[in-house]
Structure 1
Amino acid sequence: MLDFIKRRKTTYQFSDKKIQGRDIVKILEAARWAPSSKNSQPWKFIVVKNKANIEKIVSECYYNLFHTTPQLIIAVVMDTKTPVRRLESLEMELRYINMGMPVVNMCYEAQMLGIGSCILRPLGNEVEKILKIPNNKKVPIVVGFGYEDKKTKQPKRTRKELRGIVRYERYSE
């Protein structure tokens, strides 16, 4: 599993090859089976295939360094109704954590299928307007999917050493 995880990367340039419907369903099934706080499954997903809409959405996202447009966007929709519990701030944090779980599952399933992915953060609320999201919902994450253009040179991936990021028992510099 670790070798598989190490091979996952962000795709910046996509080929024109279309993603098959059965593969889109597999990616969505992976999202559906993601863990969530209290098994709340608080997400909805919007599949965007229309190239003009994809281009509009990508243009409204941070980290949109694509050289070509993905073949597919899946937007993750979050309910933002204010909780009426004592732990309101914790509930809001859990919502964002919950939104990341299906994204990871989708990216790994796509990788299993030979499909590249790129996680994007919408800026402002233009993506919500494009997707006609109601006021009590938000799109904190969108993911672009497509087959990688193999002619593209990808930047070399690096990671910090474990000894630089792991501490035992307590924090220390």
Structure 2
Amino acid sequence: MNVISVEDPMKKLVEVTRTYRKFYQDHRIQGEFLHDLVNLARLGGSARNSQPWQYMVVNDPEVCEKIFPFLGWAGYLADWKGPVPGERPAAYIICLLNKERLAGSEAEAQFDLGIATQNILLGAMQCGIGGCRIASIGAGLSRLFDIPVRLTISLVIALGKPRETVVIEECSNNSTVRYWRDEEGVHHVPKRTLASCLVELPLVKP
């Protein structure tokens, strides 16, 4: 019988691959490692196999500082404006849609991006590097770089050695799914139970 053990390495990796927003900023991340993560992204599935995504890696501290102001952090934490100096990302992977490579709709491409970025975050976490997918991006970010017309920034992945603890909390159907931080700074993420995610539907009677 095929059963995923509670000790299964893949299961454990998925459980610890959370969204991290505080990092040890002085822990540098090498360009070669970022390229390895992009390689994991490119190996993911793609609708119509169009593979429309391209990636720009950034690990230069000065460039990282220029990117930071254009990113929005943690919408549920209204009083938190993002990580302070010393806790900011050590690197970024900027995800760009190449419209010339599209074989279908942009919606299909976004599905691909979800697959690709999860591969990136899993690969990073396996090596002790956490990340945060950021879609709240200021228009000024595109003006920082000489971006060709065919490319559009869609997502930014912030990366670094995690400087916070993130824990999963099971919640019921009627509970809030808003994440929160306790007095000690531990980040709590509600997740719906397995039972609430499974459905059984009867066949339509002829």
Q: Aligning the two structures, in what range does the TM-score lie when normalised by the shorter sequence? A: 0.7 to 0.9
Distance 2:70 2:198 in 1: 35
> Once the 2 structures are TM-superposed, how far is the Cα of residue 124 of structure 1 from its aligned partner?
4.5
Distance 1:163 1:30 in 2: 31
Q: TM-score w.r.t. structure 2 length?
A: 0.69
Greater helix proportion: 1
Aligned counterpart in structure 2 of residue 45 of structure 1, from 46, 55, 72: 55
Distance 1:10 1:139 in 2: 20
Q: TM-score w.r.t. structure 1 length?
A: 0.81
Once the two structures are superposed, residues 96-118 of structure 1 have per-residue CA deviations (whole angstroms, 9 ceiling, x without a partner) of 21222211111000001111111
Once the two structures are superposed, residues 44-92 of structure 1 have per-residue CA deviations (whole angstroms, 9 ceiling, x without a partner) of 1101122233233232123262232211000011023597x9xxxx612
SS at match of 2:157: strand
Task: Answer whether contact 1:122 1:140 (CA < 8 A) is retained.
Answer: no
1:136 equivalenced with 2:146 (yes/no): no
Q: Which residue of 1 aligns with 2:129?
A: 115
What is the percentage of aligned positions where both structures have the same residue?
A: 21
Highest RCO, 1 vs 2 (Cα 8 Å, sep ≥ 6): 1
> Once the 2 structures are TM-superposed, how far is the Cα of residue 120 of structure 1 from its aligned partner?
0.7
Q: Which runs of 5+ in 1 are unaligned?
A: none
Q: Which runs of 5+ in 2 are unaligned?
A: 1-9, 75-81, 166-183
> Once the 2 structures are TM-superposed, how far is the Cα of residue 32 of structure 1 from its aligned partner?
1.8
Q: Which residue of 1 aligns with 2:89?
A: 70
| Mapping for residues 25-36 of structure 1, pairs under 5 Å | 25-36=35-46
Aligned-residue RMSD, C-alpha: 2.6
Task: Answer whether contact 2:73 2:136 (CA < 8 A) is retained.
Answer: no
1:19 equivalenced with 2:38 (yes/no): no
